[in-house]
Chain A
Amino acid sequence: MKKTAYLGMFLAISLILSYVESILPVTAPIPGIKLGLANCAILVLLYLYGPWEAILVNVARVTLSAFMFNGLFSLLYSLSGAILSFLIMFLLYRKKKTFSPVGIGMLGGVFHNIGQIIMAFAVTHVKGLIYYLPFLLASGLVTGFIIGFLTKLLLPYLKKTILVKNDNPNKEE
Protein backbone atom coordinates (compact mmCIF):
# COMPACT_ATOMS: atom_id res chain seq x y z
CA MET A 1 0.00 0.00 0.00
CA LYS A 2 2.76 2.31 0.95
CA LYS A 3 4.41 1.67 -2.38
CA THR A 4 1.33 2.83 -4.26
CA ALA A 5 1.52 6.12 -2.40
CA TYR A 6 5.18 6.57 -3.24
CA LEU A 7 4.64 5.72 -6.87
CA GLY A 8 1.88 8.31 -6.95
CA MET A 9 4.27 10.80 -5.46
CA PHE A 10 6.85 10.02 -8.12
CA LEU A 11 4.19 10.41 -10.79
CA ALA A 12 3.39 13.85 -9.39
CA ILE A 13 7.07 14.79 -9.33
CA SER A 14 7.61 13.65 -12.90
CA LEU A 15 4.50 15.56 -14.02
CA ILE A 16 5.79 18.71 -12.39
CA LEU A 17 9.12 18.24 -14.15
CA SER A 18 7.24 17.79 -17.44
CA TYR A 19 5.33 20.96 -16.72
CA VAL A 20 8.43 22.95 -15.84
CA GLU A 21 9.94 21.80 -19.07
CA SER A 22 6.92 22.75 -21.14
CA ILE A 23 7.01 26.34 -19.84
CA LEU A 24 10.76 26.77 -20.19
CA PRO A 25 11.47 29.04 -23.12
CA VAL A 26 12.95 26.81 -25.78
CA THR A 27 15.86 28.42 -27.54
CA ALA A 28 16.91 25.38 -29.55
CA PRO A 29 16.71 25.98 -33.30
CA ILE A 30 15.37 22.46 -33.95
CA PRO A 31 11.94 21.36 -32.76
CA GLY A 32 12.00 18.35 -30.48
CA ILE A 33 15.07 19.26 -28.48
CA LYS A 34 14.40 19.32 -24.79
CA LEU A 35 16.09 18.50 -21.54
CA GLY A 36 14.01 15.48 -20.55
CA LEU A 37 13.90 16.41 -16.88
CA ALA A 38 11.07 14.00 -16.20
CA ASN A 39 13.31 11.16 -17.22
CA CYS A 40 15.32 11.91 -14.10
CA ALA A 41 12.36 10.85 -11.96
CA ILE A 42 11.90 7.72 -14.06
CA LEU A 43 15.55 6.79 -13.75
CA VAL A 44 15.39 7.25 -9.99
CA LEU A 45 12.33 5.00 -9.91
CA LEU A 46 14.12 2.37 -11.92
CA TYR A 47 16.88 2.28 -9.35
CA LEU A 48 14.76 2.55 -6.22
CA TYR A 49 11.82 0.33 -7.14
CA GLY A 50 12.44 -1.55 -10.34
CA PRO A 51 11.51 -1.68 -14.03
CA TRP A 52 7.84 -2.57 -13.71
CA GLU A 53 7.07 0.36 -11.44
CA ALA A 54 9.15 2.71 -13.55
CA ILE A 55 7.46 1.90 -16.86
CA LEU A 56 4.05 2.16 -15.21
CA VAL A 57 4.74 5.63 -13.89
CA ASN A 58 6.41 6.61 -17.15
CA VAL A 59 3.44 5.70 -19.33
CA ALA A 60 1.05 7.39 -16.91
CA ARG A 61 3.25 10.48 -16.92
CA VAL A 62 3.45 10.72 -20.69
CA THR A 63 -0.28 10.25 -21.11
CA LEU A 64 -1.23 12.75 -18.45
CA SER A 65 1.24 15.40 -19.52
CA ALA A 66 0.02 15.09 -23.10
CA PHE A 67 -3.50 15.77 -21.86
CA MET A 68 -2.45 18.63 -19.64
CA PHE A 69 0.44 20.50 -21.24
CA ASN A 70 1.54 19.41 -24.66
CA GLY A 71 -1.61 18.53 -26.56
CA LEU A 72 -2.89 15.13 -27.62
CA PHE A 73 -1.04 15.08 -30.90
CA SER A 74 2.25 14.94 -29.04
CA LEU A 75 1.12 11.77 -27.27
CA LEU A 76 2.19 9.53 -30.15
CA TYR A 77 5.64 11.02 -30.30
CA SER A 78 6.22 11.20 -26.58
CA LEU A 79 5.00 7.67 -26.04
CA SER A 80 7.16 6.11 -28.73
CA GLY A 81 10.17 8.04 -27.47
CA ALA A 82 9.48 7.20 -23.85
CA ILE A 83 8.98 3.50 -24.45
CA LEU A 84 12.03 3.01 -26.65
CA SER A 85 14.17 5.02 -24.27
CA PHE A 86 12.85 3.04 -21.33
CA LEU A 87 13.60 -0.28 -23.02
CA ILE A 88 17.23 0.62 -23.57
CA MET A 89 17.58 1.99 -20.06
CA PHE A 90 16.09 -1.20 -18.67
CA LEU A 91 18.49 -3.37 -20.67
CA LEU A 92 21.47 -1.37 -19.43
CA TYR A 93 20.11 -1.32 -15.88
CA ARG A 94 20.16 -5.11 -15.82
CA LYS A 95 23.91 -4.81 -16.22
CA LYS A 96 24.20 -2.08 -13.63
CA LYS A 97 27.54 -3.36 -12.43
CA THR A 98 28.99 -2.21 -15.74
CA PHE A 99 26.93 0.93 -16.32
CA SER A 100 26.24 3.88 -14.04
CA PRO A 101 23.17 6.15 -14.22
CA VAL A 102 25.24 8.53 -16.33
CA GLY A 103 25.62 6.08 -19.18
CA ILE A 104 22.08 4.80 -18.82
CA GLY A 105 20.61 8.31 -18.91
CA MET A 106 22.75 9.15 -21.91
CA LEU A 107 21.49 6.25 -24.00
CA GLY A 108 17.99 6.92 -22.72
CA GLY A 109 18.19 10.43 -24.16
CA VAL A 110 19.53 9.22 -27.49
CA PHE A 111 16.92 6.50 -27.87
CA HIS A 112 14.12 8.82 -26.83
CA ASN A 113 14.90 10.93 -29.87
CA ILE A 114 15.33 7.91 -32.11
CA GLY A 115 11.88 6.70 -31.06
CA GLN A 116 10.38 10.09 -31.80
CA ILE A 117 11.92 10.32 -35.23
CA ILE A 118 10.79 6.81 -36.14
CA MET A 119 7.26 7.75 -35.15
CA ALA A 120 7.48 11.04 -37.04
CA PHE A 121 8.55 9.15 -40.13
CA ALA A 122 5.75 6.63 -39.72
CA VAL A 123 3.23 9.47 -39.50
CA THR A 124 4.50 11.87 -42.16
CA HIS A 125 6.67 9.74 -44.51
CA VAL A 126 8.89 12.78 -45.05
CA LYS A 127 12.34 11.57 -46.02
CA GLY A 128 13.92 14.90 -45.12
CA LEU A 129 13.41 14.02 -41.46
CA ILE A 130 16.71 12.20 -41.65
CA TYR A 131 18.42 15.58 -41.60
CA TYR A 132 17.11 16.10 -38.09
CA LEU A 133 18.64 12.84 -36.96
CA PRO A 134 22.21 14.03 -36.27
CA PHE A 135 20.94 17.05 -34.33
CA LEU A 136 18.47 15.04 -32.32
CA LEU A 137 21.00 12.32 -31.57
CA ALA A 138 23.61 14.82 -30.46
CA SER A 139 21.15 16.70 -28.28
CA GLY A 140 19.86 13.44 -26.81
CA LEU A 141 23.40 12.49 -25.97
CA VAL A 142 24.11 15.75 -24.16
CA THR A 143 20.81 16.13 -22.33
CA GLY A 144 20.76 12.44 -21.45
CA PHE A 145 24.22 12.78 -19.99
CA ILE A 146 23.10 15.72 -17.85
CA ILE A 147 20.01 13.86 -16.67
CA GLY A 148 22.03 10.76 -15.90
CA PHE A 149 24.51 12.82 -13.92
CA LEU A 150 21.70 14.49 -11.96
CA THR A 151 20.26 11.08 -11.16
CA LYS A 152 23.61 9.81 -10.01
CA LEU A 153 23.90 12.75 -7.63
CA LEU A 154 20.35 12.29 -6.35
CA LEU A 155 20.35 8.55 -5.76
CA PRO A 156 22.53 8.31 -2.64
CA TYR A 157 20.37 10.91 -0.85
CA LEU A 158 17.11 9.27 -1.88
CA LYS A 159 18.35 5.85 -0.82
CA LYS A 160 19.11 7.21 2.64
CA THR A 161 15.64 8.56 3.24
CA ILE A 162 13.63 6.46 5.64
CA LEU A 163 10.61 6.30 3.44
CA VAL A 164 12.23 4.42 0.68
CA LYS A 165 14.37 2.21 2.88
CA ASN A 166 11.58 0.91 5.11
CA ASP A 167 9.31 0.30 2.26
CA ASN A 168 11.67 -1.51 0.03
CA PRO A 169 14.44 -3.22 1.98
CA ASN A 170 15.19 -5.84 -0.67
CA LYS A 171 16.17 -3.38 -3.35
CA GLU A 172 18.89 -1.86 -1.22
CA GLU A 173 22.40 -2.41 -2.41
Chain B
Amino acid sequence: MKKGDFVLLAVTGVLLGLVIFIVFFKPNAGFATVYEDGTVIASFPLNTDITEKIETQDGHYNILKISGGEVSVLEADCKNQICVNTRPVKRIGDSIICLPHKISIVLEKDRKE
Protein backbone atom coordinates (compact mmCIF):
# COMPACT_ATOMS: atom_id res chain seq x y z
CA MET B 1 0.00 0.00 0.00
CA LYS B 2 1.15 3.49 -0.78
CA LYS B 3 0.80 6.73 1.09
CA GLY B 4 -2.15 7.87 -1.00
CA ASP B 5 -4.06 4.74 0.01
CA PHE B 6 -3.96 5.68 3.65
CA VAL B 7 -5.16 9.16 2.79
CA LEU B 8 -8.04 7.63 0.82
CA LEU B 9 -8.84 5.28 3.67
CA ALA B 10 -8.85 8.11 6.19
CA VAL B 11 -10.97 10.41 4.01
CA THR B 12 -13.57 7.77 3.16
CA GLY B 13 -13.61 6.61 6.78
CA VAL B 14 -14.36 10.12 8.01
CA LEU B 15 -16.98 10.64 5.30
CA LEU B 16 -18.60 7.34 6.22
CA GLY B 17 -18.74 8.38 9.86
CA LEU B 18 -20.30 11.67 8.81
CA VAL B 19 -22.93 9.94 6.67
CA ILE B 20 -23.82 7.58 9.51
CA PHE B 21 -24.12 10.54 11.84
CA ILE B 22 -26.33 12.55 9.48
CA VAL B 23 -28.56 9.60 8.62
CA PHE B 24 -29.07 8.09 12.05
CA PHE B 25 -28.84 10.95 14.51
CA LYS B 26 -31.89 13.02 13.83
CA PRO B 27 -33.19 15.60 16.29
CA ASN B 28 -36.38 14.95 18.18
CA ALA B 29 -39.52 16.04 16.41
CA GLY B 30 -41.91 18.78 17.50
CA PHE B 31 -45.18 17.63 15.97
CA ALA B 32 -46.92 14.47 14.90
CA THR B 33 -48.86 15.00 11.70
CA VAL B 34 -51.58 12.55 10.79
CA TYR B 35 -52.21 12.02 7.09
CA GLU B 36 -55.18 10.22 5.65
CA ASP B 37 -54.60 9.21 2.05
CA GLY B 38 -52.01 11.97 1.69
CA THR B 39 -53.97 14.86 3.20
CA VAL B 40 -53.33 16.27 6.66
CA ILE B 41 -56.19 15.52 9.04
CA ALA B 42 -54.60 16.36 12.39
CA SER B 43 -51.42 17.56 14.03
CA PHE B 44 -50.40 17.13 17.64
CA PRO B 45 -47.56 18.80 19.57
CA LEU B 46 -45.27 16.22 21.16
CA ASN B 47 -44.72 18.18 24.36
CA THR B 48 -48.22 17.46 25.67
CA ASP B 49 -49.22 13.93 26.55
CA ILE B 50 -52.53 12.91 25.03
CA THR B 51 -54.43 9.86 23.87
CA GLU B 52 -56.53 10.62 20.83
CA LYS B 53 -58.90 8.53 18.74
CA ILE B 54 -58.42 9.12 15.02
CA GLU B 55 -61.43 8.15 12.97
CA THR B 56 -61.08 7.51 9.29
CA GLN B 57 -63.63 8.39 6.64
CA ASP B 58 -64.69 4.78 6.19
CA GLY B 59 -65.48 4.32 9.86
CA HIS B 60 -62.31 2.73 11.22
CA TYR B 61 -60.14 4.08 13.97
CA ASN B 62 -56.61 4.25 15.33
CA ILE B 63 -55.89 5.32 18.89
CA LEU B 64 -52.83 7.53 19.01
CA LYS B 65 -50.84 8.04 22.18
CA ILE B 66 -48.29 10.74 22.84
CA SER B 67 -46.28 10.34 26.00
CA GLY B 68 -42.96 11.87 26.92
CA GLY B 69 -42.36 13.08 23.36
CA GLU B 70 -42.90 9.60 21.93
CA VAL B 71 -45.72 8.57 19.63
CA SER B 72 -47.30 5.14 19.44
CA VAL B 73 -50.54 3.59 18.32
CA LEU B 74 -52.33 1.86 21.18
CA GLU B 75 -55.16 0.27 19.31
CA ALA B 76 -56.56 -0.02 15.81
CA ASP B 77 -59.34 -2.02 14.21
CA CYS B 78 -57.23 -3.08 11.26
CA LYS B 79 -56.33 -6.65 10.41
CA ASN B 80 -52.57 -6.61 10.39
CA GLN B 81 -51.95 -4.50 13.53
CA ILE B 82 -48.62 -3.37 12.12
CA CYS B 83 -49.14 0.18 13.39
CA VAL B 84 -49.87 -1.10 16.87
CA ASN B 85 -46.75 -3.22 16.86
CA THR B 86 -44.56 -0.40 15.58
CA ARG B 87 -42.19 0.79 18.26
CA PRO B 88 -42.76 4.28 19.69
CA VAL B 89 -41.17 6.95 17.47
CA LYS B 90 -39.80 10.34 18.41
CA ARG B 91 -37.35 11.67 15.83
CA ILE B 92 -37.93 13.90 12.81
CA GLY B 93 -38.79 11.79 9.78
CA ASP B 94 -39.92 8.78 11.79
CA SER B 95 -43.35 7.46 10.91
CA ILE B 96 -46.02 4.98 11.85
CA ILE B 97 -48.05 3.76 8.93
CA CYS B 98 -51.37 1.96 8.85
CA LEU B 99 -51.80 0.81 5.30
CA PRO B 100 -55.32 -0.70 5.64
CA HIS B 101 -56.67 2.66 6.84
CA LYS B 102 -54.41 4.75 4.57
CA ILE B 103 -53.30 6.55 7.71
CA SER B 104 -49.75 7.66 8.25
CA ILE B 105 -48.39 9.45 11.27
CA VAL B 106 -45.27 11.38 10.40
CA LEU B 107 -43.07 13.20 12.88
CA GLU B 108 -42.09 16.66 11.78
CA LYS B 109 -40.32 19.70 13.10
CA ASP B 110 -43.24 22.10 12.68
CA ARG B 111 -46.98 21.93 12.64
CA LYS B 112 -48.61 21.13 9.33
CA GLU B 113 -52.05 22.45 8.52
Contacts and interface: CB of A to CB of B under 8 A. Distances in A.
A and B bind: yes
Interface of A: 92, 95, 97-100, 102-103, 106-107, 110, 130-131, 133-134, 137-138, 141
Given A110-B12, A133-B23, 19 more contacts: A95-B4, A98-B3, A99-B5, A100-B1, A100-B4, A100-B5, A102-B5, A103-B5, A106-B9, A106-B12, A107-B8, A107-B12, A130-B23, A131-B23, A134-B19, A137-B12, A137-B15, A138-B16, A141-B16
B2 interface: yes
Sorted from nearest, which 4 A-B pairs have the closest CB atoms? Answer: A103-B5, A98-B4, A99-B4, A103-B8
Chain B's interface size range is 10 to 19
Contacts of B13: 141
B4 A103 contact: yes
15 contacts: A98-B2, A98-B4, A99-B4, A99-B8, A102-B5, A103-B4, A103-B8, A103-B9, A106-B5, A130-B23, A133-B23, A134-B19, A134-B23, A137-B16, A138-B16
Nearest to A141: B12
A133 B5 CA distance: 22
B20 A103 contact: no
Contacts of A100: 1-2, 4-5
Nearest to A140: B12
Report whether over half of chain A's contact residues are helix, strand or loop; otherwise say mixed.
helix
B93 to A, nearest CB: 8
Report whether over half of chain B's contact residues are helix, strand or loop; otherwise say mixed.
helix
Interface of B: 1-5, 8-9, 12-13, 15-16, 19-20, 23-24
A134 B5 contact: no
A95 to B, nearest CB: 7
Nearest to A149: B1
Contacts of B15: 137
Contacts of B2: 97-100, 103
Contacts of A99: 2, 4-5, 8
A95 B7 CA distance: 13
A103 B23 contact: no
Contacts of B1: 100, 102-103
A106 B5 CA distance: 9
Among B2, B5, B20, the most chain A Cβ lie within 10 Å of the Cβ of B5
A11 B62 CA distance: 58
B11 to A, nearest CB: 9
A102 B4 CA distance: 10
B47 to A, nearest CB: 26
Contacts of B23: 130-131, 133-134
